Structure 1
Amino acid sequence: MLIGLVRDSVMQCFCHSCRAPVLPAAHRRSAPVKKPVGKPRTKQPKKVKFITTEIRCQEMSKGGLAYEVILAEPVGVPVPRRADSPEKTPSVEEIQEKLKAAEERRRSLEASKMAAIAQKMQKIEDASRVRSEQTNNFIVATKEALDAKMDSHEEKREAYINELRARLKDHLEGVEKTRLTLEQQTAEVYKAIEDKMNTAADKRDENIKKMLERLREHEEQVRKVRAGNQERFQQLESAIQDKLQQAADRRLQIEAEQREKLRNHNNKLAEVRSVITAKMEEITKDIETKLTTAEQNREKEIQKKLDFVKKEERRAELVRQNKSARAESEPVSG
């Protein structure tokens, strides 16, 4: 429809200034409106239909056209309302028939439920019977296996006990033999120890005698050594006393020499001090004479400087007087 309208407007005008005529609404096809089936639950919105009012054609580029379609204001189309259907009131017979049918349906439903429940109960009974049979079979098999295992275990235990008894008997026999051999060896060891103790006692007595003899010899040797040492100690003591006396004499001699040297040193020191005092007196006298001459020379120099300063002051006074006289004479001449 829109293509036809555009084609008609293009065929009518290419001046780009006039407007295409508005086509009547009869030429436009609108979508058929479906009638609602039954009573609508909600209020439907009103459908709006747009009508083209103007079409413009414009050449935008070489060999190309641009169309502008302007739509008019929307126009509301009223929706036809369906007439209400009259309500139908059922009769008593229809109600009774419906109740009978509902009762039959309920009974059939209950019968089907009971049949299903009976079938399930039958399955449960079959399963419990099978389970009890399996449990009984398992108990019987387990009991038989346990009895067989207990019998074999009893046989093994008897064999193990007999073997342990045989080993214990052999062990006791070995222990008895070992005990007898140990007793025999112990008796032999005791006898050997007694023999060794007797021989050791004899040897001990001999060793004690030898040690006593050596001790007497050692004491004799110690006595001799002590006597020799006593003599040596006396000799050393006399030598030490002689050396101490010599040292005392030498010390006294050295002290006398030191006193003599100290006396000579004091005498020399007194002589040196007297010489130094004499020289110091001469030096002080010389310094005093030099100081007096220097003081006299300084006073002379000061007097000379004072005379020079006075002379310079007199000269400056004359210069000032000359300047003042010249200054007074210059304006008069001018």
Structure 2
Amino acid sequence: MSAENPQDPTEIRCKEESKGGLKFDVIIADPATSPPKRPSSPKDKDLTAEEIEEKLKAAEERRLSLEAKKMAQIAAKLSKIEEASKNKDEQMSEFIAQTKEALEQKMESHIEKREAYLTDVKAKLKDHLVGVEKSRQILEQQTEEVRNAVEEKLKSAAAQRDENIKKMLERLKEHEKRAELVRQNKERLSTQPQEEITSSA
């Protein structure tokens, strides 16, 4: 960066040396060559020491005035550069603050969404576990009912079997009794004709 004035030989150069730092080079041009001296009039040869001192004093004042003017111009240019640098720093600080705020908001939103997701997952898992527990209880109840029904049927079947066996035994006994009666009748009938023959003789 450089600032020049066609009427001012002074030059200020500014460049960024490193991040966040600026370097200023102030170049003051060589003084302009003095205009050619006019031929001294006869009066100049007769200047007194006091007049010469006044002229030197006036020349010194002009020189000091020019230097003061140059320094004021340099100070104004430096002030503009410093103001530009300050504005740049302020813009950078504002950008950093806005970026930080946006990032924090994004992180907060992400955390809120993550917490909401975890809460939803926990609720669904809890509902699932409740459903599983209910299904387990229903299955246990049904299993118990089936077991009781099977045991009841087995008991009923055993009782029916015992009853059938008892009836079969009773029938066998009845059959044996009848068979015994038939046998006895046959024996009696078989012996009766012999007795009749004997008695008739």
TM-score between both structures, scaled by the size of structure 1: 0.24
TM-score between both structures, scaled by the size of structure 2: 0.38
Normalized per residue, the structure richer in strand is 2
Bigger radius of gyration among the two? 1
**Which gives a bigger RCO, structure 1 or 2 (Cα 8 Å, sep 6+)?**
2
